[in-house]
Amino acid sequence: MPNLPKYQSKFKSLNVDKNQSRYSAGKAPHKPVLLLSLIALNKNNRMDLSNIQINVDLRETWGECWELLDYDRAGPIHLPLYHMQSDGFWNLDIKPEHKHSHPKSVKKLNEMVTRISLDEELIDLFNQPDSRNTLVNALLNGGYFSEDEAQRLSEKIESIDQSFEYEEKIVSMVKDEFQMQDALAFPMPDEIARSSSFRRVILINYDEKCAVCGMKIVASSGVSIIDAAHILPFSKFRIDDPRNGLALCKSHHWLFDHGLISVDTHNRTIVSGSLDIEMPKDIISQYHKEALILPEKASMFPSLTALEWHRENIFYK
């Protein structure tokens, strides 16, 4: 029988930095945010807690939770992933050659470990709604967050459920012919949950790489700097079908939205002749007629209909 009081006590007294001047509630929130993220993902069948993957779902959920806290930037996700092993329920299988190493990034941590997992007893508790809620409350009320932060996180947990439910629905749209009009047969969640759903789908489809230049950068927080861009503007069409999306770096997203680049009928980047760049030479024009980096699944390729609309209505020829 899982020992709920034991883990409830552990969650309220995690081994964290207690620098009063550094944190909003006097304790470092990194470990609680990671655990809350994992609980939410597990509840939505998006994470195997016996083999934790530092994937887009985890990193994006982590980043979204941090945005609700009173800090200027998100904390590095690799720190709690590594240091949680001191709390007695977090298991790291570290390669022998890295036993005395300390990771400085997610990439380095991935190189060091073969598996990250939680105790089976704790996983069992997470899979029971009442026990899960008790443990969530232990984290929210353990002194790691201010009262306002805890309230925002509590609301976020509910929003995450809506976000993953919406994600499943928009992914299912690729089974049907792409529609130019808002063809949703289901309601949209709030804007944050909706936007998060679309972003995750696009980042996963494009392996977090800009479809034009291939840039792939993950910040120390674990969050990708690549944007999920709508081909048909969402403000006009309200379409979150994954085929209405492209993964683009900040520069190419801006150029696409402002009609200075587009995509031809063969999924190649085209660059507007009205684009005037002096320096550095050819930094944009080098991609003219270059093939897009496309999703692995053809069903997720950008809609030719949407791209045609962009060429005819947004692109400066």
Q: What percent of the chain has pLDDT over 70?
A: 97
Average predicted confidence (pLDDT) for the chain = 93
Q: Check residue 5 and give its pLDDT.
A: 95
What would the pLDDT profile of 75-115 be if each residue is shown by its tens digit?
Answer: 999 999 999 999 999 999 999 999 888 899 999 999 999 99
74 near 58, Cβ under 8 Å?
no
Q: Residue 225: is its pLDDT beyond 80?
A: yes
**H/E element holding 287?**
none
Q: Check residue 158 and give its pLDDT.
A: 86
pLDDT confidence of 232, banded at 50, 70, 90? very high
Q: Check residue 182 and give its pLDDT.
A: 62
Q: Of 169, 166, 302, 182, whose CA–CA distance to 236 is shortest?
A: 182
Structure tokens at 55: 């994937």
What would the pLDDT profile of 18-67 be if each residue is shown by its tens digit?
Answer: 988 899 988 999 999 999 999 999 999 999 999 999 999 999 999 999 99
Q: Check residue 183 and give its pLDDT.
A: 56
Q: Whole-angstrom Cα distance, residue 274 to residue 92?
A: 54
Q: Residue 131: is its pLDDT beyond 80?
A: yes
Q: What is the mean pLDDT of residues 201-230?
A: 95
Q: Of 132, 136, 191, whose CA–CA distance to 166 is shortest?
A: 191
Q: Residue 141: is its pLDDT beyond 80?
A: yes
Q: Check residue 1 and give its pLDDT.
A: 61
| 118 beta partners | 90
H helices present in the chain, as ranges: 4-12, 30-43, 56-66, 78-83, 106-112, 120-126, 129-140, 147-172, 191-205, 234-237, 250-257, 304-313
What would the pLDDT profile of 57-84 be if each residue is shown by its tens digit?
Answer: 999 999 999 999 999 988 999 999 999 9
Q: Residue 234: is its pLDDT beyond 60?
A: yes
Q: Check residue 188 and give its pLDDT.
A: 84
Q: What is the mean pLDDT of residues 265-278?
A: 88
Q: Residue 184: is its pLDDT beyond 80?
A: no
Q: Which residues of 263-284 are buried (b: 16+ CB within 10 A; e: fewer)?
A: bbeeeebbbbeeeeeeeeeeeb
Q: Check residue 279 and give its pLDDT.
A: 63
Q: Residue 277: is its pLDDT beyond 80?
A: no
Q: Of 245, 244, 241, 228, whose CA–CA distance to 172 is shortest?
A: 241
What would the pLDDT profile of 188-197 be if each residue is shown by its tens digit?
Answer: 888 989 999 9
Handedness of CA 139, 145, 150, 156 (dihedral sign): negative
Q: What percent of the chain has pLDDT over 90?
A: 83
Structure tokens at 290: 């270059």
Q: Residue 263: is its pLDDT beyond 90?
A: yes
70, 60, 307, 289: CA torsion to nearest 10? 100
**H/E element holding 230?**
strand 227-230
Characterise 292 by phi-psi region: left (phi > 0), alpha (psi -120 to 50), beta (else): beta
